[in-house]
Amino acid sequence: MGESKVIDEYDFDLHPELQTELSADERELLQHIPELTELGTERRKFLGQAAASGLGILALQLLAKEQVLASMEAPEGAVFAPVAEENAVAVKLKINGVEKTLNLDSRVSLLDALRERLALTGTKKGCDQGQCGACTVIVNGRRVLSCLTLTATCEGKEVTTVEGLAKGDDLHPIQAAFIKHDGFQCGYCTPGQICSAVALLQEAKNGEASHVSTNLRTSARNLKLSDDEIRERMSGNICRCGAYPGIVAAIQEVHQGRETAQTWRFVGEDEIAALNVEGKTDEIV
């Protein structure tokens, strides 16, 4: 705060008992608040009094807010033109195999474009700041965090979301394996996990190294990934439910192409009824 000055030197009608000091910043703000129509003088008086009673900055903020709101009041019968998109850009891209052209603000993230503009809500918003992996989608074959990707940078690219993985009623092998190995609980992280896993398999086929790869000198295609490798490569996808063992088992099964047995099954109503009779409902898991 700068220098202070006695408030009654300014053009407010201030109650004599409420004279006090205003800082230079407060004075500056007061001078810039224009008269509000009808009640302008009264408001300035109120402001001066409020400032004098120790509520200076708060009163200034309230009045400034009120001023903004007042300026937004529309005259009766006013007709508005549609609000123009700020910084609008047209982006042409292919989403799940379908060409789309989007006119949107250049600052819109791919995640918001998918969810809010295209109603592709399979892609989830978790942290919205690149920490959780819930928003993972595949762009030109590589997994990306859609919350950190501007839609405007996807011109001409191919985007695959979890909605684009199945072929009709046939689930993608990774989707089927997630079900088989109980790779999810609440399911919130699952679309991101699945997209990440699909791209991971391709990375292994391409021979791309990871942080825990033991040999960086030679790059062989069709890498055989250990569980540790899969954990490392999936480490950007957080699961609050802790479904990690099932996720790793699901990816490993598809990666190895080797069928492993499902370790759970749905229990039928007859079985539940029979267990109820025998008092063995604790055996249902």
Can residue 243 be called a binding residue for ligand FES (CB under 6 A)?
Answer: yes
Among 239, 250, 251, 254, binds ligand FES (CB under 6 A): 239
CB of 121 to ligand FES, least distance (A): 13
The residues, any chain, with a CB within 8 Å of residue 199's CB and separated by 6 or more, are 138, 141, 142, 143
CA angle 23, 25, 31 (to 5 degrees): 105
Please select the residue that binds ligand FES; options are 137, 145, 194, 200, rule is CB under 6 A: 145
Residues 101-140 that bind ligand FES (CB under 6 A): 125-128, 130-135
Binding residues for ligand FES restricted to 162-221, rule: CB under 6 A: 184-190
The nearest distance, CB 248 to ligand FES, in angstroms, is 13
Cβ of residue 186: shortest distance to ligand FES, in angstroms?
3
CB of 133 to ligand FES, least distance (A): 5
Binding of residue 245 to ligand FES (CB under 6 A): no
**Interface residues with ligand FES (CB under 6 A)?**
125-128, 130-135, 145, 147, 184-190, 239-241, 243
